[in-house]
Amino acid sequence: MSVGFKLLGLAVGCTVLVLLRSPYALAEASVFVALLYWLSGAGLKAAWGQIRPLRWFAVLLFCSQLLFADLPTAISSTLRVVLAVALAGLVTLTTPTSELLAWLDRRGVPPRVSLLLSLTLRSVPVMTELAVRVREAQRARGVERSVRAFAVPLLVSALRHADALGEALNARGVDD
């Protein structure tokens, strides 16, 4: 499938998710997204890999929505976000970054914007890996429930990664 068709499908899919109000309709959309993963050959394990990093955010979102709205609204809002991330993940799983950047280049998107998009796409799995490492270190130290023991090392690791990335870009002449 072409990059343009995938991006169009992502835009249409996210629009449909916003328009769906019922938790039942969004549950049906979940089945559809799972079917897309299966048809693409990525599989349900890959789908879980895309939404797994969101699990705590989804719980937090659900609880906050439950405080300010009713149960169906909390379920719908949470499902919308999770399904949108799953759809975007499917596009990135099935589309090599080089193809996406070439497609953007053919449409006249400036190279700096393409580079920004590429770095953004690459940063998501990097941050996920950093979070996994910090969580494993927490378990090893026996401080699994401490927010500070998770947040501080993750922030430090993220800032170190950003510094290294900035130095690499600067060394290649991208320093504006």
DSSP calls for 111-154: HHHHHHHHHHHHHHHHHHHHHHHHHHHHHHHT-TT-HHHHHHHH
pLDDT band at 175 (very low <50, low <70, confident <90, very high): low
pLDDT confidence of residue 99: 87
Rounded Cα–Cα distance for residues 6 and 12 (Å): 10
Determine contact, residues 124/82, Cβ cutoff 8 Å: no
Q: Determine the average pLDDT of the residues in 57-71.
A: 91
Q: For 71-103, how does the pLDDT look when each residue is reduced to its tens digit (9 = 90+)? A: 999 999 999 999 998 998 898 889 887 888 888
Q: Structural domain boundaries of the chain?
A: 3-95, 110-171
pLDDT at 176: 58
- What does the pLDDT read at residue 54? 80
The pTM of this model reads 0.72
Q: Enter the tokens of residue 37.
A: 């993963």
pLDDT of 27: 94
With a cut of 80, say whether residue 122 has pLDDT above it: no
Per DSSP, the three-state class of 175 is: coil
Residue owning tokens 């998501």: 124
Residue 119 is predicted with a pLDDT of 78
